[in-house]
Amino acid sequence: MSVLRPATAATDAHDCAAAARTRAAARHLVRSEDLEEVLAVAAAAIGEVLAGEAVLRVRTTQHDLHASASGVLPPSALSALARTVLGSPADVDGVAAPSEAASASADGSAPPREAAGVLLESSGGHATCRVWVGVTKPPREGAPEHTVAELLLHCLAQSVDRIVTVDKVRQTEANLERAVESHRLVGQAMGILIERHRITSEEAFEVLRRASQDHNVKLREVARRVIETGAEPDEVV
C-alpha cells in the first residue's frame, strides 16, 4: 500500500491539473474575441482531453479555416487522412462515421494503423466546427473524455458565432461612420460652392457629382479635396 499511495496521489494531481486546464480553456473560448486564438486553444484542449493531436475545420459564410494547437494551418499542411476525414460528407446525425472516414485516404490505399480516431462536429448559427483527433484507442461514445471534448467543440462553435456577430456589428458601425463622414464632407464642399458661385444646394451637389462621375473619383474624395485646396471640383480630380 505504501508503494501505491504516491502513485495514486500523483495520478489524482495530474487529473486535477488537466481538469483545471480544460476549465481554463473553456473560459477562454467564452471570452476571447480573436478567431485564430480560439481555434488554437480549442484544438489544444480537445487534443489533451482525448490524448491525441486535434485538427479542426471551421466553416462560416466568410471563412473555411483549418487549425491545430499551433494555430491556423493551410489545408496542404494536414495529413491526407485529416483532409479526408474533415472534408468527408456528414451522416444522418451530422457527423461523418469515424469507421468510414478513417478507412479512406487520398489515394484510395488502405489506411495506416493510426487511422483510428475520434470525429466530432458541432454547429452554431454562423459556424460549423469539426474536429478529428487521431488516437490509438478511441474512447467510447458517452465516456467522460468524449463528452468533455464534445462540450469544448460546442463552446468553440458558440465562440465563433459570437466573434462573427461582433465583426459584423463592427463592420456595420464602420460603414455608418464612413457614411456620416461622407455626409459631413459633401455638405461642407457644397457650402463652399454655394457661397462662391451663389448657386442652390441642388446645383452645388450636381457639380460635385458630375466631377466624381467624369473622373471616376468617389464623391467624398472630391469633396475632401475641394475643402482642403479650395479649388473647383474639376480641378482637384
Confidence of residue 110 (pLDDT cuts 50, 70, 90): very low
Per-residue pLDDT tens over the stretch 134-184: 888 888 888 999 999 999 999 999 999 998 888 888 888 888 888 899 999
**What local confidence, expressed as pLDDT, does residue 106 receive?**
45
Cα–Cα distance for residue pair 44/71, rounded to 1 Å: 9
Cα–Cα distance for residue pair 22/120, rounded to 1 Å: 17
The arithmetic mean of pLDDT across residues 55-63, rounded, is: 88
Residue 112 has pLDDT above 70, yes or no: no
Domains of the chain: 4-145 (no CATH), 170-236 (1.10.10.10)
- In the chain, the percentage of residues whose pLDDT exceeds 70 is 82
Average pLDDT of the chain is 82
Instruction: Order across the sheet with 71-73: list the strands.
Output: 71-73, 64-68, 53-59, 128-134, 117-123
Of 153, 172, 152, 157, give the one whose Cα is nearest residue 126: 157
